[in-house]
Structure 1
Amino acid sequence: MKDRHAYLLEPLKQSLVFKRLLAYAKPHWKWLTVAFILLVGGTGAEILGPILVKIFIDDYLTQGIFDTQPLVLLAAGYLGLHFSAAIMNYAQLLMFQKVALGIIQELRIDVFKKVEKLGLSFFDQFPAGGLVSRITNDTEQVKELYVSVMAVFVQNIVFLIGVFIAMFYLNVQLALFCLFILPFLVVIMQLYRKFSSRYYAEMSEKLSQLNARLNESIQGMAIIQVFRQERRMNREFQEINQKHHEAWYKSIKLDGLLLRPAVDVISILALVMVLSYFGIVSLNSPVEIGVLYAFVNYLDRFFEPVNQMMQRLSIFQQALISAGRVFRLMDHDELAPGKTGTDSPGISRGVVEFKDVTFSYDGKQDVLKNISFKVKEGGTLALVGHTGSGKSSIINLLMRFYTPGKGEILIDGHSLTTFEDKELREKTGLVLQDPFLFFGDIRHNIKLYDDRISEADVIDAARFVHADSFIDRMPQGYDSPVGERGSTFSSGQRQLLSFARTMAKKPKILILDEATASVDTETETEIQKALEKMRLGRTTIAIAHRLSTIKDADHILVLHQGEIVERGTHDSLLKEEGLYHKMYLLQQGVQKLENPL
């Protein structure tokens, strides 16, 4: 698992990342084609402007010719070029931006879909804050690539090509001299990319760690305050924040050295070269002022887009690093276990069987060893044992959250791997010790936006588990708002709502993972009555926290260190006077101490 986790932190080759980003633009080729045509048109209009000024200076101003008609045509042409350039540049920029936002929308949906398909083994290892950072911060950086970089790069590259064409039109020899500027610019860009990629990768990773620490701190704030861990958490947060700051500072120093200042030096040298050339030429022959003006103008226009591209190199580099992190996540193959084979059986009886199942989370230490049992249709199996004995692991395997290392799990005689996800999830109901409620209202937390569950089904399910007793007392009833994770409800109310959610599906197999552990005694009594009705006609597997709640179970398995050490009914296990007997006496003693009367 650690190797898989480390794999996600390794950088992808930037050329491959860039190709994948461009692939997202293929579905938008029509819009991009129109935008590119407008871009070429707008760029051409901007480049022709100095040519018209050159014609005015050399053919009319220096010659003292002031014919009204040609001058009006030149002025109208010059203004027309500027207006048309402004309109076309606005339109192409709008189109490029529209395509860019559409691409990022697709990318975010793709990465979120991939995260939903990942197995629980992945979430066991990867911090939630890091995932949030990749789906939000990293994709936001990629958005800047399309919005702030790609359009500018394309526009400026086209503009530079146009500038060189105009330069060659004016003076071939001088234009060839200016070509020698390009290698120096390419060297600066390569140096910047080489060093900045290291800094931005470190910045992105530290930002993920900051998000992970924030997520952990906010969720565990009660524990932090109870155990007075504020100073320690603050110190650790400051350490990560300092490393993030140092990486940022390194990138800022690199930007200050290799971006505009270096390009400005080259532009000054180029201007000196051009002026020197015209100065030397003027010693032997007259110099056309219009050509000098146009060349200096083009030289200035040449370096402005270069500066724009250099200043966006930092955004470009950050975007490639962020995109690489996103693609690493999208390429991750730790998917949730799914269906295999061509058969698609259905769950009709709910007979569950484990055959010599062995399982390990890390591939090294087995948490389950040769587990075998069978639960008949409509029967109830209880799993008991100390913490870490493997009870929840059996549930996780039955829900196909993980794949067993050895052995086989059967439902109705068919291998668990042959069932479609839809069939398995619809016919299996799971209630956890710590129920999870979604932000919204009570009604949609019970039906989970399933249109097949009617309003009557929602109400019946709530009544079935006695959740209606507190829902009906609320001013808005089933429309009452539910805060994040159900924070506005008591633990007992959250558990009752999770019971109602499960029963609304009418599952064939019912799995209870210490479902009454968070409920008070009075509420537990009500739930036990509901459980008796819930178990009728359903196969039930229950992890028991209180042994008194499983007295009527058909079969009880006692687990210890991943193995079944005892099995039987409540009465038969008490007669054996083994581990179950000791656990029962211990709980009875605690209950007597808590309730001496």
Structure 2
Amino acid sequence: MSEETKTAVAHDADEPAAVARDKTRPQPVAGPGRMMSAGMPAEKPLDFKGSLARLLRLLRPQRAALTGVLVLGAIGVALTVLGPKVLARATDLIFAGVSSRHLPAGATKEQVIEGLRARGENTLADMFTRVDLVPGHGVDFTAVGQVLMIVLALYVFAAFLGVIQARLTTNLVQGAVFRLRQDIEAKFARLPLRYFDRQPRGEVLSRVTNDIDNLAQSLQQTLSQIVTSLFTVLGVLVMMFVISPLLGAIVLLTVPLSVFVAAKIGKRAQPQFIRQWSTTGKLNAHIEEMYSGHSLVHVFGRRKEAEELFRQQNEALYEASFKASFISGTIQPGMMFIGNLSYVLVAVVGALRVASGSLTLGDVQAFIQYSRQFSQPVTQIASMANLLQSGVASAERVFALLDAKEQEPEPEQPRRPEVVRGKVEFEHVSFRYLKDTPLIEDLSLSVEPGSTVAIVGPTGAGKTTLVNLLMRFYEIDGGRITLDGVDIKAMDREELRSKTGMVLQDAWLFGGTIAENIAYGADNVTREQVIEAAKATYVDRFVRTLPDGYDTVLDDEGGTVSTGEKQLITVARAFLAKPAILILDEATSSVDTRTEVLIQHAMNSLRTGRTSFVIAHRLSTIRDADVILVMENGNIVEQGNHETLINAGGAYSRLYAAQFAEAMAETE
């Protein structure tokens, strides 16, 4: 987790949750309502060449390892390619030995050939002209054994180099993916909240988990194999033309056909891979939303709709995956068919060349092996096209995240207040989530150090937006906001947020002990300081009743403690952070009355000596605020203390009377 993200979360600034209650901003489609949507628009076709080039650029920092992979691949392939040519010598020795055994001893090779031609056996005579005959002698098994040992040594050493190459490839790929994950983590710290507002969480998670894993797997399986296959194709071509230019030309004629077939099939498969990973992201987003909103789905009777949307997206994923795999899977059979055609032509023409004496039997045997070695890497490269296309499709989705528009950069020479006292001023501030929809226009406000400012108003009035602008979760469109006379735009965001603590309605706890959750908001704190903060905020009272006390382990949902106890832990976290500015956003709205009293007492302790912004719907909780701001449509329509606003008989008075009447009705 980045420092900036940690700082925001340390003060319980669960940013998406913090702004989710402000209905004035554009909302991502989520929850049960999303089940009625027709799904997100399909992604545009992939820029395969551009994304592949960018993907390969990720390997640049490990040039030494990449060079090692290339060098070892070249040497290993050279040794493997030499094998059939050396083995051809053994075949010729065996053929010569078998043939010599039936010839009269003491005769010379020339005499035997002349005798064959005299009897009209010209074909056999031509074959013997390229063979080392020793009439009367059998097979020289010593020489054959030496040749076989050389071939064995070549293959063993090539395999050894292959193991080293595989190790280097693994380090190369995992290093690139490691840096890519680091880049994504750093990117998250630079992305504005606007990005997360418009992206379903499951879709984002799919990009940083499934797509990166698929990318790593694709690189791991294709990088080394492609290098080896390309070197093999080049090496085999050279050896084939050394043995027989005619046979080499025959094999080479099949290459354009192979490339054409592979390109044609790959072009049809690529859109299906794009669709496959796009649909995977949508399905993951739906599953994540339905899991997190499981209770709401059942409460509102949307289970059938959820299951139907899951079925539709699951079928879409099945269809895209099937088509992508099937279409790309036809490349290998097509390549094998073309390779078999080449094999038949080589066998026929090679036999004729042996009969004419132009080639030895060993040469033809070696050439047939080379033709197989040639077609195999071409087939492998073609069959790896599906993996490569799938990996590049995932890479583009990751690159789209890395290319997302970032928040404004930090100032090169950030300023900071000489002494942070907590004086906050809004000077003619304007802000809008959408360009054509004004929200806050020409808002001015001055908050003295140590005072408590309560912000009330109807839903969508801009209450949460106001504090989000103070935290620089969003950047203002006009005017300026100052902290102790310093424009917050001139301050480093981390520095600004380190001076601010937040307690939200939705308490955020991570998997860890209670003590670790409390200490999350501050650095280098002792156990005694944690307990002191817990006592000041009434956390110690219930922690003492737990079997493991402060070492009680919470899950990421805080399921082992109640809602009110989770909220008290977040208050203790903010208390321990000792911020100069405190933001309390509906911190008691989801708890019972008794727990609310405890949280109020805890927050009173927390607010002492700090500038506090309190957003509340329960007006009874902010009667003692120094200043109460009443907001409507992004504007402050009233401000003053409780008594002044009640006597004014305006918007605040009507809100208070409405809540009082509601409370009386509930009592009756």
TM-score (norm 2): 0.85
Where in structure 2 are the equivalents of 1:48-59 lying within 5 Å? Answer: 48-59=82-93
Structure 2 equivalent of residue 344 of structure 1:
415
Q: Within 1, Cα distance between the matches of 2:42 and 2:63?
A: 32
In structure 2, what is the equivalent of residue 296 of structure 1? 368
In our comparison, the structure showing a higher alpha carbon Rg is: 2
Contact 1:8 1:325 in 2 (8 A): no
Aligned counterparts of 1:94 and 1:103: Cα–Cα separation in 2: 14
Contact 1:358 1:368 in 2 (8 A): yes
Q: Residues 390-401 of structure 1: matches in 2 within 5 Å?
A: 390-401=462-473
Question: Given that residues 533 and 575 in structure 2 are in contact (C-alpha distance below 8 angstroms), is that contact kept between their aligned partners in structure 1?
Answer: yes
Aligned positions of 1:128-147 closer than 5 A? 128-147=201-220
Counterpart in the other structure of 2:5: none
Q: Residues 450 and 540 (structure 1 numbering): CA distance in 2 closer, same or farther, change over 3 Å?
A: closer
1:468 lines up with 2:540 in the alignment = yes
Give 1:482 shift.
1.1
1:340 aligned partner, one-letter code? P
1:172 aligned onto 2:206: no
The Cα of 1:339 is off from its aligned counterpart by 3.4
Larger displacement relative to structure 2 (396-405 or 107-116): 107-116
Select which of 419, 424, 428 maps to 2:491.
419
Contact kept? 2:354, 2:360, Cα under 8 Å: no
Unaligned runs of 5+ in 2: 1-24, 30-39, 101-137
1:254 aligns with 2:327: yes
CA contact (8 A) 1:556 1:569 kept: yes
Residue 195 of structure 1 is matched in structure 2 by 268
Aligned residues: 593
Q: Which residue of 2 aligns with 1:117?
A: 190
Q: 1:75-90 alignment to 2 at 5 Å?
A: 75-90=148-163
Pairs within 5 Å for 1:60-459: 60-63=94-97, 64=100, 66-257=139-330, 259-281=331-353, 284-285=356-357, 287-335=359-407, 337=408, 339-340=410-411, 342-346=413-417, 348-448=420-520, 450-459=522-531
What is the aligned partner in structure 2 of residue 533 from structure 1? Answer: 605
- Percentage of pairs with the same residue: 33
Letter in 2 for 1:342: Q
Contact 2:454–2:627 (CA under 8 A) maintained in structure 1: yes
1:374 aligned counterpart, secondary structure: strand
Which amino acid letter does the alignment assign opposite residue 339 of structure 1?
E
Output the CA distance in 1 between the equivalents of 2:349 and 2:360: 13
Distance in 2, matches of 1:306 and 1:172, equals: 20
**What per-residue deviation string (whole Å, max 9, x for no partner) do you get for residues 202-237 of structure 1?**
111111000100010000000111122111000011
1:593 aligns with 2:659: no
| C-alpha deviation, 1:526, in angstroms | 2.3
Q: Give TM-score, length-normalised by structure 1.
A: 0.95
Q: Does 1:577 align with 2:649?
A: yes
Task: After TM superposition, give the deviation of residue 443 of structure 1 in Å.
Answer: 1.4
Question: 2:325 & 2:54 partners in 1: Cα distance?
Answer: 28
Q: 1:175 to 1:449 in 2, by over 3 A?
A: farther
Is 1:338–1:417's contact at 8 Å kept on the other side of the alignment? no
Cα distance change, pair 343–311 in 1 and its aligned pair in 2 (3 A)? closer
1:199 positional shift: 0.8
Contact 2:537 2:605 in 1 (8 A): no
Query: By how many angstroms is 1:591 displaced?
Result: 2.2
Paired residue type of 2:237: F
From 467, 488, 491, give the equivalent of 2:563.
Answer: 491
Q: Is the 8 A contact 1:338 1:421 kept in 2?
A: no
Query: 1: distance between equivalents of 2:242 and 2:650?
Result: 99
Separation in 2 of the partners of 1:428 and 1:354? Answer: 16
Task: Confirm or deny: 8 A CA contact 1:11 1:325 kept in the other structure.
Answer: no
Structure 1 residues 37 and 381: alpha-carbon distance in aligned structure 2, compared to 1, 3 A threshold: same
What is the distance in 2 between the residues matched to 1:396 and 1:497? 22
Per-residue Cα deviation, 1:303-353 (whole angstroms, up to 9, x for no partner): 122222222110000111110111111011133x55336341136111011
For 1:46, the equivalent position in structure 2 comes to 80
Contact between 1:367 and 1:393, CA under 8 Å: does it hold in 2? no
Structure 2: distance between partners of 1:226 and 1:289: 81
Cα displacement (A) at 1:424: 0.9
What SS class does the counterpart of residue 630 from structure 2 fall into? strand
Match of 2:62 in 1: 28
- Kindly report which structure 2 residues correspond to 1:561-576, keeping only aligned pairs within 5 A, or say none: 561-576=633-648
How far off is 1:545 after superposition?
Answer: 1.7
Aligned amino acid, residue 374 of structure 1: S
Greater RCO, 1 or 2 (C-alpha within 8 Å, sep 6+): 2
1:52 Cα shift? 1.8
SS in 2 for 1:344: coil
Query: For the residues of structure 2 that align with 1:414 and 1:39, how far apart are their CA atoms?
Result: 60
Q: Is contact 2:69–2:224 with CA below 8 Å preserved after alignment?
A: no
> By how many angstroms is 1:74 displaced?
1.1
CA shift at 1:149, angstroms?
0.6
- Counterpart secondary structure, 1:255: helix
Tell me if the contact between 2:455 and 2:613 (Cα under 8 Å) persists in the aligned partners.
yes
Cα distance per residue 1:41-89 (max 9 Å; x no partner): 2222221221122112224532545335433321211221222122221
Contact 2:454 2:616 in 1 (8 A): yes
Find the partner of 1:480 among 552, 571, 590. Answer: 552
Moved more, 213-222 or 307-316: 307-316
Q: Distance in 2 between matches of 1:241 and 1:488?
A: 34
Verify the 8 A CA contact 1:112 1:135 in the aligned structure 2: no
With 528-537 and 74-83 compared, the bigger mean Cα shift is at 528-537
| C-alpha distance 171-532 of structure 1, shift in aligned 2 (>3 A) | same
Q: Deviations over 1:426-468 (max 9, x none)?
A: 1111111111111112112111285422222211211111111
SS of residue in 2 equivalent to 1:349 = coil
Distance in 1, matches of 2:606 and 2:148, equals 88
CA shift, 1:189, in A, is 2.6
Distance apart, 1:272 and its partner CA: 2.2
Match of 1:584, SS state, is: helix
Which whole-Å CA distance do the structure 2 matches of 1:509 and 1:466 have between them?
A: 21
In structure 1, the partner of 2:50 is 16
Quote the Cα distance in structure 2 between the aligned partners of 1:22 and 1:15.
Answer: 11
Q: Contact between 1:341 and 1:418, CA under 8 Å: does it hold in 2?
A: no
Query: Post-superposition shift, 1:471?
Result: 1.1
Q: 1:486-518 CA deviation, whole Å, 9 max, x = no partner?
A: 233211111111101111110001111111212
CA contact (8 A) 2:96 2:139 kept: no
Give the superposition deviation at 1:283.
Answer: 6.1
